[in-house]
Copies of this chain bind each other. A is one copy, B any other.
């Protein structure tokens, strides 16, 4: 269903125009912050703003109620300009309990709006948050625009009339579950967000089975809005104009969803069935879950017994002619190393997805990190080079999936796709393409040969790709395997020169990809003081920081790597145009290592391993320092 931005409720207070704002909703993980966060995102996108989100929740399914460990947050930036990150400092923060206040207040800017559910700043809640005193009374909050709202009691009142199917009113527990929508209502009022999409969502979701729940939440939402409008607490509200996005139809996508959609699209464009062999793991599971809905799109999902079986099943499916894919996160990818080596030597096309999370070992499963780059480059025995592509944002996952399959099927080589927890769970507007207009992916399989001819499964075309002969094809019977294979025939060979030759060819295949993928593009001056080089999910923070730096008069360009292996053909040339190269990474310097080794350039590193994405300001500060040093 398509809607255009329209107001249903009009505020009579003063309205100030803003370029954009960054808002965070924080509460207990049982408080439903993620849910209202995504509703707010949706409403903002529908208002024509550019948006970017950052959900941040505890590792536990239900972390202990009310504790600091149990706090769940959802951050959103919306803007009338195009933006690339969910924002650094918060313009507004909603806290549903004391634990949420103390763990989030540090990110609120001075004079920022702080909305606190004052009903929960007492006794037990303070204790659960390990607090002796009520922080709302503390002088520390003076620098913020603190607005105390008895959200719990107001919500109870708002829903007090709602009756369930049995004609009873809601219990306190159920009534309290609507608190989050009350809070959302306030924020919607504050930033002039339309309530209608949220109301529609509530009706779609609960309307049939639990009309009482739909009604209660809607009432809470509206009560929140009205509270903002009526209470004397707010002086004004704000308005954010639509962003200047390319014309078209938009929807909001999350990274894992866009990835799943991109994969189905790639399968469709190449006329293939999609096979996904996977084993659940945070934050990659949603890809499996999303794809398992698509049974009527020719998608087969296989929840294997473990990650090894998952990749092996995908290799089997690739042998059979499917567009095959396996996916996991770091610990699962570690298990796939041996089979990845086999896939490489078999020279079958397939995709291997790694949605990275905080490591090492089990690490920080729900947090983001970019620390698997070297693992995917080198985590296999022997010389087994594979191409690696990384998505840079939620919507980019859609394109990356297709590009990866395009290369994989053309070169007959498994391709590794990197994403990360930040991209996977983040959301942004996406201009919906017309599938009919997307470039087809043409794949051919050899047909039967004449008597007297010999089929050579390891002969190669101009891309060094071998033929993808499918079981079931008469006369092409052949055997693949993990022992070194003779050139052309693919028979087992222990010949020394053949081994060297095949090793070279396999590397050469990866190298040649550099010439068919897009060259790296630079935004900013084509030469100058500093080049910020990024990859993966840090794209947004880097491009934004570079823009700001240029606005401040610095000579700073930004380049972003889509392919990590091979590097695009023009990369060296680009790097040479700047006095200094800065590589910000959410790891200890993995791309830096590769760049240093390849180009012998003394890059500056900005490394962060905290389970959190970069703030724009962190990068900007480092840019300033580097520019200063160059003077």
Question: Which residue numbers of A lie inside 8 Å of B, CB to CB?
Answer: 58-59, 69, 308, 329-331, 333-335, 337-338, 341-342, 344-345, 356, 358-367, 369, 371-372, 374-375, 377-384, 481-484, 494, 496-497, 499-500, 503, 506-507, 587-588, 593-594, 596-598, 600-602, 608-612
Q: Is the pair A381, B331 in contact by a Cβ cutoff of 8 Å?
A: yes
Across the A-B interface, the 8 shortest Cβ-Cβ residue pairs: A359-B382, A330-B381, A360-B382, A496-B610, A362-B482, A361-B482, A360-B384, A379-B379
Residue among A360, A364, A483 facing the most chain B CB atoms (10 A cut-off): A360
Most chain B CB neighbours (cut-off 10 Å) among A484, A596, A608:
A484
Within the complex, the shortest CB–CB distance from A388 to chain B, in Å, comes to 13
Q: Chain B residues near A383 (CB, 8 Å)?
A: 359-360, 371, 587-588, 609
Q: Which residues of B contact A593 (CB under 8 A)?
A: 597
What B residues does A499 contact at CB under 8 A? 358, 364, 367, 609-611
| A334 close to B381 (CB less than 8 A) | yes
| Chain B residue, CB-CB nearest to A328 | B381
> How far apart are the CA atoms of A331 and B483 in the complex, in Å?
12
Complex interface: chain B residues within 8 A of A345 (CB): 360-361, 363
Given contacts A499-B358, A596-B600, contact A363 B334 (CB under 8 A): no
The residue of chain B having its C-beta at the shortest distance from the C-beta of A493 within the complex is B364
Question: Chain B residues near A58 (CB, 8 Å)?
Answer: 494
CB neighbours (8 Å) of A366 from chain B are: 494
Point out the residue from B371, B380, B500, B507 that lies within 8 Å of A382, measured CB to CB: B371
- Chain B residues lying within 8 Å of A484, measured Cβ to Cβ, are 358, 363-364
Complex Cα gap A359–B502 (Å): 11
Whether A330 contacts B496 by the Cβ 8 Å rule is no
CA distance A362 to B342 in the complex (A): 8
Contact of A609 among B375, B482, B500, B600 (CB under 8 A): B500
Residues of the B chain whose Cβ atoms lie less than 8 Å from the Cβ of A334: 337-338, 341, 379-381
Cα–Cα, bound, A59→B375 (Å): 30
User: Beyond A344-B361, A369-B382, A503-B588: 19 further Cβ-contacts under 8 Å?
Assistant: A58-B494, A334-B338, A334-B341, A335-B338, A342-B361, A358-B484, A359-B383, A360-B506, A361-B384, A362-B482, A364-B499, A367-B494, A372-B381, A375-B381, A383-B588, A499-B609, A500-B610, A597-B597, A600-B602
Return chain B residues, CB-CB under 8 Å to A338.
331, 334-335, 361
For this complex, 25 residue pairs linking A to B, each with C-beta atoms less than 8 Å apart, are A69-B494, A330-B381, A335-B335, A337-B379, A342-B361, A344-B360, A344-B361, A345-B361, A345-B363, A358-B484, A359-B381, A360-B380, A360-B381, A360-B506, A362-B481, A363-B382, A369-B382, A372-B381, A375-B381, A378-B378, A379-B380, A497-B610, A499-B611, A500-B608, A596-B596
Residues of B within 8 A of A382 (CB): 330, 358-361, 363, 369, 371-372, 375
Q: How far is the CA of A375 from the CA of B378 in the complex (A)?
A: 5
The answer on a CB contact under 8 Å between B378 and A374 is: yes
CB pair B482 A363 closer than 8 Å: yes
Inter-chain CA distance A412–B361, complex, in Å, is 17
**With A and B bound together, what is the CA distance between A329 and B381 in angstroms?**
9
User: What's the Cα separation between A482 and B357 when bound, in Å?
Assistant: 14
What is the bound-complex CA distance between A50 and B616, given in angstroms? Answer: 65
Q: Which residues of B contact A365 (CB under 8 A)?
A: 483
Which residues of chain B come closer than 8 Å to A364, judged between CB atoms? 483-484, 494, 499
Residues of chain B lying within 8 A (CB to CB) of residue A356? 381
Q: Which residues of B contact A330 (CB under 8 A)?
A: 381-382
Q: State in angstroms the CA–CA spacing of A598 and B595 once bound together.
A: 11
Residue of chain B at shortest CB distance from A612: B496
Q: Is the CB of A380 within 8 A of B384?
A: no
List of B residues within 8 angstroms of A69 by Cβ: 494
Flag if A483 contacts B359 (CB, 8 Å).
Answer: no
Q: What residues of chain B lie closer than 8 Å to A331, measured between beta carbons?
A: 338, 341, 381
A334 to B334, CA, bound (A): 8
- In the complex formed, the residue of B with least CB distance to A58 is B494
CA distance A601 to B506 in the complex (A): 26
Cα distance, A601 to B383, chains bound together (Å): 23
Known: A380-B360, A382-B359. A588 touches B507 (CB 8 A): yes
Contacts of A59 in B (CB 8 A): 483, 494
Q: A481 CA to B361 CA in the complex, in Å?
A: 9
In the complex, A497 Cα to B366 Cα: how many Å?
16
Complexed CA–CA distance, A37 and B341 (Å): 35
Whether the Cβ atoms of A494 and B360 lie closer than 8 Å is no
Q: Taking the nearest CB of chain B, how far is it from the CB of A10, in angstroms?
A: 42
Report whether B374 and A483 are in contact in the complex, using a CB–CB cutoff of 8 Å.
no
| Chain B minimum-CB-distance residue to A380 | B334
Q: Which residues of B are found within 8 Å of A610, using beta-carbon distances?
A: 496-497, 499-500
Q: Contact between B371 and A381 (Cβ–Cβ < 8 Å)?
A: yes
Once the chains are docked, how many angstroms separate the CA of A367 from the CA of B496?
10
Of chain B, the residue at the smallest CB distance from A592 is B597
For the complex, give the distance between the alpha carbons of A360 and B505 in Å: 13
Docked pose: A365 CA to B481 CA in angstroms: 13
Q: Are B379 and A363 in contact (CB under 8 A)?
A: no
Q: Which one of A337, A372, A483 has the highest number of Cβ atoms from chain B below 10 Å of its Cβ?
A: A337
B361 touches A341 (CB 8 A): yes
Shortest CB distance A169–B (Å): 40
